[in-house]
Amino acid sequence: MKLANLLSPDCTICAAPGNSKKNILEQISVLAANKISTSSAKELLNDLIDREKLSSTGIGKGIAIPHSKIDNTEQPVAVLITTDKAVNFDAIDNKPVDIFFALFVPEDSCQQHLETLASVAKYFSDKDNSKNVRRCTSANQLYRLVANG
């Protein structure tokens, strides 16, 4: 799935202040709740926290892909946040994270969920893509870069 089909400008933040894993997950949940009318920000946050308890979604090299399956929604929703400073996120390489691409997918879309996670991981595993994301200075620039990537 193309990232442009998942992400929207109003779910993209560049250089957000972030001081903790929970704070970033809260910001992600608030943005996603604006798109997912069947879930509150608190419910989405709890879903993300529950997922993180299983294992960190920090995939290394300063990147995390928090994700959750959501009942009562038909379309996946993505949130992209870069932070002004990297945040400890218990990533697999123990390095702090400054790029967060969160996914919320319908509960019954298991295959789509896996394919979408793979697409996001592939995009951000490219060093040039990650470097260009970190160079963005506005949410609009960040959105256009990733949506067109």
Q: Would you name the residues annotated as active-site residues?
A: 67
Which of 103, 99, 138 has its CA nearest to residue 119? 103
Q: Are 48 and 102 in contact (CB under 8 A)?
A: yes
Q: Are 113 and 78 in contact (CB under 8 A)?
A: no
Residues 6+ apart with CB under 8 A from 141: 14
Residues 6+ apart with CB under 8 A from 115: 1
- What token pair was written down for 77? 């929703």
The structure tokens 């294992």 sit at: 55
